[in-house]
Amino acid sequence: MRRLLVAVLGLPLLAAGGTDAHGVLTIDVGNVRIAKGNVHVDVCPEAQFLKDNCPWAGNARARLGDTRVTVGNLPAGRYAVQAFLDENGNGEVDRALFGIPKEGVGFSNDAKIRLGPPKFAEAVFAFDGNARTIRLNLRYFMGAQGPSAR
């Protein structure tokens, strides 16, 4: 009887504590070549990776070298980050002939960009709902390859 009473009284506590963890993901984006425009990041589950409809995103004013972007209220899960330097502020990656990005692009785990974007498996990381910081570097296919020497 005592175990039953403890179990019944503990149910409201379990229900209140059973909410999914949500936290802040901080993305330190390196190799920002110019302090102009914004650095944009998308945090994507596998189904939205490399698409325009990732459910979590963040922006920060571009800073030469490193720019920190935060994304809040992110539930625990497996994600990949895609990032770009929006130099002209138009909200999209500008492209040249054959779709080659004119602006810097990067992915979590610094996943390699070979003849096309990386696969989700190369960029995926686990987020447990607790505050976390990850780092990635932008890559450029046209123009300056990174910050100029000071």
In three-state form (DSSP H/G/I as H, E/B as E, the rest C), the secondary structure along 67-93 is: EEEEEEEEECEEEEEEEEEECCCCCCC
User: What global pTM score does this model have?
Assistant: 0.84
| Alpha-carbon Rg for the chain in angstroms | 20
| Structure tokens given for 135 | 């780092």
- Note the pLDDT tens digit of each residue in 70-119: 999 999 999 999 999 999 999 999 999 888 999 999 999 999 998 889 99
Cβ–Cβ under 8 Å, residues 91 and 52: no
**Those residues with Cβ within 8 angstroms of residue 15's Cβ, 6 or more apart along the chain or in another chain:** none
